[in-house]
Amino acid sequence: MGIEVKDLLSIHDLSTKEINDILDLAKTLKTQLKNGEQHHLLKGKTLGMIFQKASTRTRVSFEVGMWQLGGAALFLNANDMQIGRGEPVKDTARVLSRYVDGIMIRTFSHDEVIELAQFATIPVINALTDLMHPCQALTDIFTVLEHKGRLQGLKMVYIGDGNNMVNSLLQACAKVGMDISIATPKGYEPDAAIVAEALTVAAETGSKIVLCEDPLEAAKDADVLYTDVWASMGKEIEQEDRREVFVNYQINQNVMNVAKKDAIVLHCLPAHRGEEITEEVLESKQSVVFDQAENRLHVQKAIMVLLMGK
């Protein structure tokens, strides 16, 4: 069990075996935690956590995760660091590499994370950029595996904005042979290069990828329904315009009616109830969004162990 790459910047960089190793270790760590067993696999190690975007789940899950693994985590607000005053990313990378054992970053520019990893001599974990959200997508397929017992051949349906979340879901589903249908308004499709990349991988794994504009068409016979906010962080200025564009891109009872009867519902949170998802669906028995939120802890612990425990 292990990961050959130094960093986790994108799910595309992982092999299917490496993804399965992450999921297997996450399951083991979760079981041990529930049984009250300690697993100080990163004892004495420190994670530096750079935040340029606000967070609830990311900060708490990584910080608690490091503590449960026997290590420590440092919250580094970019506004309080020299990086927030113009220090080059490459200098920050080399300095932090002398102090800590791993870097987690949640920021806007994906290129910034790539540069950080290029100059750091320690593992870098992408905890979210405007382009990708790999830790969340790995958590999502882990949650599906828990509730469905398998991934290959299942159909995930994503309805909403073609944002960083759907970009990473495309990569994850393609790697594990899970079908994914994506319904977005015209002009809000996922990144074209990532779609092309995922299609190439899907041809090898048997995953089916469908992009369309009709949510009901996409949701037909879905095993998993997924959505995210209509305006991601940094896009708040577009909120009012997006409400008009996305008004029909909501997971509601009409959508649930065309999915499979045992379909589960995912949302990476925070949710805007009454916009991308109804209160009725979010609070229904088919919603597993809080299991999903908890699983950020277990999956990210597995990622940290496999990267930082080498």
| Model confidence pLDDT, tens digit, residues 266-285 | 999 999 999 999 999 999 99
pLDDT the model gives residue 78: 83
pLDDT the model gives residue 80: 85
Is 85 tagged catalytic?
no
pLDDT the model gives residue 26: 98
pLDDT digits (tens, 9 = 90+) for 286-303: 999 999 999 999 999 999
Is 296 tagged catalytic?
yes
To the question of whether residue 133 is assigned a binding role by annotation, the answer is yes
To the question of whether residue 94 is assigned a binding role by annotation, the answer is no
Is the bond preceding 88 in cis, omega lying within 30 degrees of 0?
Answer: no
CB of 145 within 8 A of CB of 139? no
Is the pTM for the entire model greater than 0.95?
Answer: yes
Is 136 tagged catalytic?
yes
Q: Which of 101, 140, 179, 228 is catalytic?
A: 228
To the question of whether residue 273 is assigned a binding role by annotation, the answer is no
Q: Which of 7-11, 29-33, 240-244, 248-252 has the lowest mean pLDDT?
A: 240-244
To the question of whether residue 58 is assigned a binding role by annotation, the answer is yes
To the question of whether residue 212 is assigned a binding role by annotation, the answer is no
E-strand ranges in 90-223 read 102-106, 124-128, 155-159, 179-183, 209-212
pLDDT the model gives residue 237: 77
To the question of whether residue 56 is assigned a binding role by annotation, the answer is yes
pLDDT the model gives residue 247: 96
**Burial (CB count <10 Å: 0-12, 13-18, 19+), residue 23:** buried
To the question of whether residue 232 is assigned a binding role by annotation, the answer is yes
Q: Enumerate domains of the chain plus CATH numbers.
A: 7-133+293-309 (3.40.50.1370), 136-290 (3.40.50.1370)
pLDDT digits (tens, 9 = 90+) for 201-214: 999 999 999 999 99
Would you say residue 135 has pLDDT above 80? Answer: yes
Q: Which of 12, 133, 242, 267 is catalytic?
A: 133
Q: Which of 268, 292, 298, 300 is catalytic?
A: 268
Q: Which residue has the higher pLDDT, 79 or 308?
A: 308
SS3 120: coil
Is 268 tagged catalytic?
yes
pLDDT digits (tens, 9 = 90+) for 227-259: 999 987 667 778 888 999 999 999 999 999 999
Q: Which of 7, 12, 106, 292 is catalytic?
A: 106
Q: In sequence order, what are the residues at sequence separation of 6 or more whose Cβ sits closer than 8 angstroms to the Cβ of residue 102?
A: 45, 46, 47, 48, 122, 123, 124, 125, 304, 307, 308
Q: Which of 12, 267, 296, 298 is catalytic?
A: 296
Is 273 tagged catalytic?
no
Q: Which of 12, 52, 110, 136 is catalytic?
A: 136
To the question of whether residue 135 is assigned a binding role by annotation, the answer is yes
To the question of whether residue 152 is assigned a binding role by annotation, the answer is no
CB of 308 within 8 A of CB of 47? yes
